[in-house]
């Protein structure tokens, strides 16, 4: 079993991630998240908010609608430009993204009479055709052009069309940013690699508005800041790198893009993108909506259409990188231990609380008291089922950094043991010091 397969198995067994609608056969590219997955995603969001929104000044949040009228995507260029090239096998009817097919991502591609053959059955492939990645719907009971609407393919457009709302209500001054966390939808031709490429996913995006002449400076600033975010999180140097796009690779709105790539099991691949979107989007929305999205500079006494620097990352893709980065196996008492060495800031539970035995009411009631003491301060989990060794293993497997055990000595001297996930070492501490001790241990982690 590969590491990725092992991780997928743990995610399902332990309640991080499930295939969506599995009892109906599932739907490719869609996933559901269990308690641990939701907690882990929330931790990722909070760390991003801290790094991108709250650590600086003048960065404001919005939450825009998921479905928007056709006009938005005419203006943004997504209707015209947001497509992949698709080929289909005339024999087995599998469909492939032409660029991925040629890179060998579906397997070895044989060439006959100058034409690529199906990598799965060597059948003849159709000519390539364009395939728009947006999900289309209609709003209201009548299906006509004026009711045509789209599920957003990026959160960014909701930021651009709200530019003036935020600018005026927050009395923002350049440079300033508008950030958004939320769902995006893309009808990917071949969703793959677990949660790496999905059809419904969440993005965390910042649109940072600057004076045009300062855009390059801010592009470098955000590229560096976002790269350092991963190092601070505990990603190993060797597993992340930056890659500068060539002119041919740039999206229709971008004048420069840098990807932060992670070393996924299939090789380095995009984790986050940082793009210079210039004034493309605001200008385009001005044209299509006949509104005036601009910044009036009091000092210069002139209207400015700001340039935009955009760091954008998918939460699930980052979640996959986190799972891969912190998964480990070691040997304990002759057994292989599966473990997520999450830093406490990411761990779904910070502490677990156990009575040594579940058939001794005095231990159980003390353990429940300790649990209610710690759960006010930390995400905590109470468990009294199975042997103490099994309970430790279960917490190791979901990445809980600290386990508290209430034993017979507790009844005598009001102390409990605190076990460190990574070293498996235990120390005894007084129940009265429990919250401050956990706080200290979390702070000195790494
Ligand atoms: N607003 C810019 C934008 O959307 P993108 O490179 O298409 O740019 C940004 O997407 C990030 O969103 C990617 O770096 C990736 O982390 C995530 N992402 C994009 N498509 C995804 C998909 N199908 N499934 C999961 N995450 C995806």
Q: How far apart are CA 378 and CA 381, in angstroms?
A: 9
CATH topology of domain 3-77+135-323: BirA Bifunctional Protein; domain 2 (3.30.930)
Tell me the pairing of strands 59-61 and 111-112.
Answer: unpaired
**CA angle 347–350–356, rounded 5-degree value:** 130
Which segments within 78-164 are labelled E, that is strand? 83-88, 95-97, 111-112, 115-116, 129-132, 136-138, 148-151
Distance 88 CA to ligand 1 centre (A): 24
Mean pLDDT of the chain: 96
Average pLDDT rounded to a whole number, residues 393-400: 98
List pLDDT tens digits, range 133-160. 999 999 988 888 889 999 999 999 999 9
320 lines ligand 1 (CB under 6 A): no
Please indicate whether residue 158, judged by its CB atom, sits closer than 6 Å to ligand 1: no
**Mutate-to-test residue for ligand 1 from 254, 317, 322, highest number of ligand atoms within 8 A of CB:** 317
**pLDDT given at position 444:** 83
The Å distance, Cα 153 to ligand 1 centre, comes to 9
CA of 313 to the centre of ligand 1 (A): 6
The mean pLDDT of 103-112, rounded to a whole number, is 91
344: how many CB neighbours lie within 10 A of its CB? 23
* Alpha carbon nearest to ligand 1 atom 7, residue: 154
Q: Is the CB of 188 under 6 A from ligand 1?
A: yes
**Structural domain spans, the chain:** 3-77+135-323, 83-132, 349-444
Quick check: 446 pLDDT over 80? no
Neighbouring CB atoms inside 10 A of 205's CB total 23
**Probe target for ligand 1 pocket from 77, 154, 256, 280, with the most ligand atoms within 8 Å of CB:** 154
CA dist 394 and 289 (Å) reads 55
User: What is the arithmetic mean of pLDDT over 120-132?
Assistant: 94
Residue nearest to atom 15 of ligand 1 (CA): 314
Atom of ligand 1 nearest to the CA of 156: 1
- The Cα–Cα gap between 353 and 374 comes to 9
Q: Is 350 in the pocket of ligand 1 (CB under 6 A)?
A: no
pLDDT of res. 83: 92
Compute the distance from residue 272 Cα to the ligand 1 centre, in Å: 7
- Please report the pLDDT score of residue 69 as a whole number: 96
Alpha helices, H only, 15-135: 35-48, 70-76, 78-81, 98-102
pLDDT tens profile 244-287: 999 999 999 999 999 999 999 999 999 999 999 999 999 999 99
Task: Please give the share of the chain, as a percent, with pLDDT higher than 70.
Answer: 100
Atom number of ligand 1 nearest to Cα 188:
23
Q: What's the whole-model pTM score? A: 0.95
pLDDT band at 51 (very low <50, low <70, confident <90, very high): very high
pLDDT of residue 445: 76
pLDDT for residue 39: 98
Mean pLDDT, residues 295-319 taken together = 97
Ligand 1 pocket member 124 (CB < 6 A): no
pLDDT score recorded for residue 180: 98
Q: Pull the structure tokens for residue 101.
A: 């097919």
Distance (Å, rounded) from C-alpha 275 to C-alpha 257?
4
> Ligand 1, from 270, 280, 320: best to mutate by most atoms within 8 Å of Cβ?
270
The CATH-assigned architecture of domain 349-444 is 3-Layer(aba) Sandwich (3.40)
Q: pLDDT by residue (tens digit) across 170-196?
A: 999 999 999 999 999 999 998 989 999
């Amino acid at each position: 079993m590969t590491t990725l397969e092992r991780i997928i198995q743990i995610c399902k067994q332990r309640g991080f991630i499930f295939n969506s609608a599995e009892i109906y056969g599932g739907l490719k590219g869609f996933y559901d998240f269990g308690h641990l997955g939701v907690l882990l995603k929330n931790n990722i969001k909070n760390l991003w908010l801290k790094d991108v929104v709250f650590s600086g000044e003048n960065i404001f949040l919005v939450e825009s609608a998921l479905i928007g009228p056709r006009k938005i995507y005419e203006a943004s260029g997504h209707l015209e430009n947001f497509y992949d090239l698709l080929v289909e096998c005339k024999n087995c009817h599998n469909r492939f993204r032409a660029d991925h097919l040629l890179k060998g991502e579906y397997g070895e591609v044989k060439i006959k009479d100058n034409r690529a053959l199906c990598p799965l059955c060597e059948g003849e492939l159709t000519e390539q055709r364009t395939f728009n990645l947006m999900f289309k719907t209609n709003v209201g009971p009548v299906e006509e052009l004026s009711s045509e609407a789209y599920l957003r393919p990026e959160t960014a457009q909701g930021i651009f069309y709200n530019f003036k709302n935020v600018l005026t209500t927050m009395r923002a001054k350049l440079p300033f940013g508008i950030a958004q966390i939320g769902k995006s939808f893309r009808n990917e031709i071949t969703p793959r690699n677990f949660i790496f490429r999905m059809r419904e996913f969440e993005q965390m995006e910042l649109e940072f508005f600057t004076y045009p002449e300062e855009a390059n400076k801010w592009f470098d600033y955000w590229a560096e800041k976002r790269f350092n975010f991963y190092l601070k999180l505990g990603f190993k140097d060797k597993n992340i790198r930056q890659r500068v796009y060539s002119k041919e690779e740039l999206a229709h709105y971008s004048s420069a893009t840098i990807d932060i790539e992670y070393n996924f099991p299939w090789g380095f691949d995009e984790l986050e993108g940082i793009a210079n979107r210039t004034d493309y989007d605001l200008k385009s929305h001005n044209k299509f909506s006949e509104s005036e999205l601009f910044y009036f500079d009091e000092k210069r006494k002139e209207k400015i259409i700001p340039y935009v620097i955009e760091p954008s990352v998918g939460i699930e893709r980052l979640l996959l990188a986190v799972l891969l980065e912190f998964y480990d196996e070691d040997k304990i008492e002759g057994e292989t231990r599966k473990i997520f060495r999450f830093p406490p800031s990411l761990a779904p539970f910070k502490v677990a609380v156990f009575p040594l035995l579940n058939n001794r009411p005095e231990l159980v009631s003390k353990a429940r008291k300790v649990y209610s003491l710690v759960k006010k301060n930390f995400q905590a989990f109470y468990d009294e089922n199975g042997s103490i060794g099994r309970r430790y293993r279960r917490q190791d497997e979901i990445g809980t950094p600290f386990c508290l055990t209430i034993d017979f000595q507790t009844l005598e001297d009001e102390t409990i043991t605190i076990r460190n996930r990574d070293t498996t070492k235990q120390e005894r501490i007084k129940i009265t010091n429990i919250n401050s001790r956990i706080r200290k241990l979390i702070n000195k982690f790494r």
